[in-house]
Amino acid sequence: MREISRMAVTNRDMANAVRALSMDAVEAAKSGHVGLPLGMADAATVLFRKFLKFDPADPAWADRDRFVLSAGHGSMLIYSLLHLTGYKSVSRDDIRNFRQLGAKTPGHPENFVTPGVETTTGPLGQGIATAVGMAMAERHLNARFGDDLVDHHTYVIAGDGCLMEGISQEAITLAGHLKLNKLIVLFDDNSVTIDGGTDLSDNTDQCARFEASGWVTKKVDGHDEKAVEAALTWAKKQKKPVMLAMKTIIGYGAPKIAGTGKAHGGPYGAEEVAGIRENIGWKYPPFEVPAAIEKAWLKAGERSKKEHEAWKKRLAASDHKGEFNAAMTGRLPKNIAKAINKHKKAVAEGGEKKATRQWSGAALEVLTHLVPEMVGGSADLTGSNNTKTSHTEPMTPKNWAGRYVHYGVREHGMAAAMNGMALHGGILPYSGTFLVFADYSRGAIRLGALMGTRVVHVMTHDSIGLGEDGPTHQPVEHIASLRAMPNMLVFRPADGVETAECWELAIANETGPSTMALTRQGVAPARTTHTDDNLSSKGAYVLSDCKGKAQATILATGSEVEIALEAQAMLAEDGIAARVVSCPCLELFEQQHGNYKKSVLGTAPRVAVEAGVRFGWDRWIGEDGGFVGMNSFGASAPYTDLYKKFGITAQAVVTEVKKRIA
C-alpha cells in the first residue's frame, strides 16, 4: 500500500478505515455482523463525506439530516462512521469493546445509548418504516416553519432483509403516496441473506416494486465512488422518494467468503481477516488508523459546521423562535390543565352515556386546539377511532401543514412512522386502530417502548363489548399483553371524565408510549361530581366508598366500572359493605407510594372485574382473589348478550365477593 501520509487520501482509503475498524471490532467481540460494513463502506463514505448534513459537536441539531441504518445488524458501520467523524459518543475504546457491557457500541444501534444514532434498529424493516415518519415530520415542520428552519433529508441504508419484511411494503407505499421527496434509501443490493443467495427465497425486482409504489429508482455500482456521488446528486433533485440500488459485495475483500451467506456474520477468523487486510491494502495493526486518514475523516465531520452556524443565526432572528423551540423540546402549553378541567366539568354535569371512544374524540377536540404539535391519524378507521378533530386537516403532498394522516390499512407502518415523528422532534403523534390489531403493530410499539418515544396509540373496540364482529376482532389478551410491556402506560378509562384525565396524562408522558384502550359501547357516567384533581394520575383510586368498614374491595377498569358499581349497590342491599376502586392505569398505580396503594386496596378480600383475561391481576387481588372476566375467546352477538354469556355481570361479581366473606 502506498504511503498514506505522503499522498492525498482517497474515498477508498477512508472507506477502508471503516472496514478495518468494523472487522477488528467484530473479531475482538467474537460476535457481530461485518459483512454489511465491508460491503457498504464505499457508498457510506461518499454519503458522510459529501452529502450528509450533520455536526458531531451537536448530535441534536434540529435541522441535521437524519441517517438511519435500517439493517441494524451492520451496526459497526455506523459506529465506525460516528467515531471517525468526531462524535464524542463513540471512542476508540468503545470500538474495541463492541458488544460489551457499558460500551456505547451495542450489538444493534440504540438511540438511547449512542448519540448520533437516530433510532433503535434491530428487527429488520423497522428502520426504513421509522425513517418514513422522520421524513413526514420534516415535510410537516417545513410547511409550518419554512425553509430557514427546517430543510433536511432522511437517508436510509436498508438490506434485502429489511425489504422482505412486510412492514417495508406498508412504509414504502405510504412514502410514495405522500411523495416524500426528502427521503433517500440506499439499498444494499448484495443478493445475499444468511441462508445463502436471495434466490433461495425471493426474486422480487425491488426497483420495479419501489417504482410501482410511487418512488423513483436508480441502479448504482456501490463500490464506484463517482457513480455513488452522481446518484446521490441526482436523488436530491427528485420530487418523489428515491431508492438507489447499490450493487455491492457482502464481505468485500474476504478471500474465501465474500459474496456468500457466510459473509453476513462474524467473526471471520484470523486467516480471513488477514486476507481482507491484504486484499484492501490495509497493513496497519488492529484498531489503528493512519493519522492522515483520521484527519480526512475529522474534516468530513466538520463540513457542515458553517451551515450549522448560519442556521443558528436564522433561528435567533426568526419570529418563530419561541414556537419552534417549544415544538422541538416537546413543551406543552400551560393552559392544558385549565382547559381539561373545564371540559371535565361539562362532562360530569352532562351525565351522558357514551362510548369512551366518543369521549376520547371530545377530549382530542380540546387538546388538538391547544397543542399544534399533535398530529393524528388512523389506519382507515377514522370514524370508529374518533381521532380526527375540527383542528386537524389531512396531511397531503399539497398540504404538508395538515395534522391528520390517513394511514390506510397499515397498522404496523403507522406505529413505526409515529416513532419516527417523535424521534425527529417537533411532533406529538397519535393514531388509532382497533385494540385487537395491536398484534399487527406490536413490533413498532415495542421498539417505541424501548426507545421511550412520546406517542399515543388509540386502541378502540377494546373488549367483547364490540359485539357482532366476533372473536376475530374481540381482544381478550391484548390489555394484559400490553401491560406486560416495560415502559408502556395502558389507560382504560371508565367514562368521559376519566378519558379526559387519561389523555392529559398520555400527552404529558415524555418517557414512553401510551395506549388508550377505549370502548365501542356506551358506558354510564362513573364520575358525576367535578374535581380539579386528576384522580386518574395515581393509576387507581377509590371511586365509590362504603359506609363503615369495607368487607370487600371491587377493582375494575373501563366499561366494567359500571358493573362494579351495580354490584356494590346489590351487595349493599344484602348488608355487605364493598368499596369500588377504578383502575384506569395500573402502571401508574404501581409507581405510587406503598402507603397509598394500601389505602386504596384495603385489607378486605378483593375481586376484580375486566372483560379480558386474568393474567396480571393476581398482583392486585392475590392468588385467592376473585376475578370476573374472560378465560376464552369471545363470540359473535350483540354485546349485551355476550356479557351475559361469559358471565361478566354484576351478579357474578356479587357471587365472587360472597364466596370470600362467608
Q: Tell me whether strands 456-460 and 428-434 are parallel, antiparallel or unpaired.
A: parallel
CA distances (Å), origin 360, targets 71, 346, 509: 38, 14, 17
Q: Report helix, strand and coil shares of the chain as percent, to nearest 5.
A: 45, 15, 40
Q: Is 205 left (phi over 0), alpha (psi -120 to 50) or beta?
A: beta
What span, in angstroms and rounded, lies between the C-alpha atoms of 64 and 150? Answer: 9
Is the bond into 267 cis (omega within 30 degrees of 0)?
yes
C-alpha cell at 140: 410537516
CA distances (Å), origin 278, targets 201, 254, 492: 34, 9, 62
What span, in angstroms and rounded, lies between the C-alpha atoms of 407 and 3? Answer: 55
Are the beta carbons of 581 and 602 closer than 8 angstroms? no
Handedness of CA 244, 250, 255, 260 (dihedral sign): negative
Please state the length of the chain: 662
Q: 424-446: string of b/e by CB count within 10 Å (b at 16+)?
A: bbbbbbbbbbbbbbbebbbbbbb
What is the Cβ-side half-sphere exposure of residue 329, based on CA atoms within 13 angstroms? 9
- Indicate the SS3 state at residue 520: coil
Catalytic residue among 118, 229, 411, 504: 411
Handedness of CA 54, 59, 65, 66 (dihedral sign): positive
Q: Tell me whether strands 242-247 and 216-221 are parallel, antiparallel or unpaired.
A: parallel
E-strand stretches of 526-583? 541-544, 552-556, 578-582
- Catalytic residue at 411? yes
Q: Tell me whether strands 522-523 and 354-355 are parallel, antiparallel or unpaired.
A: antiparallel
Q: Which ranges constitute the DSSP H helices of 217-290?
A: 225-235, 270-280
- Indicate the SS3 state at residue 370: helix
Are the beta carbons of 70 and 80 closer than 8 angstroms? no
Are the beta carbons of 83 and 91 closer than 8 angstroms? yes
Terminal Cα-to-Cα distance of the chain (whole angstroms): 89
Given the C-alpha cell 409515529, which residue does it identify?
Answer: 418
> Which positions are catalytic?
411
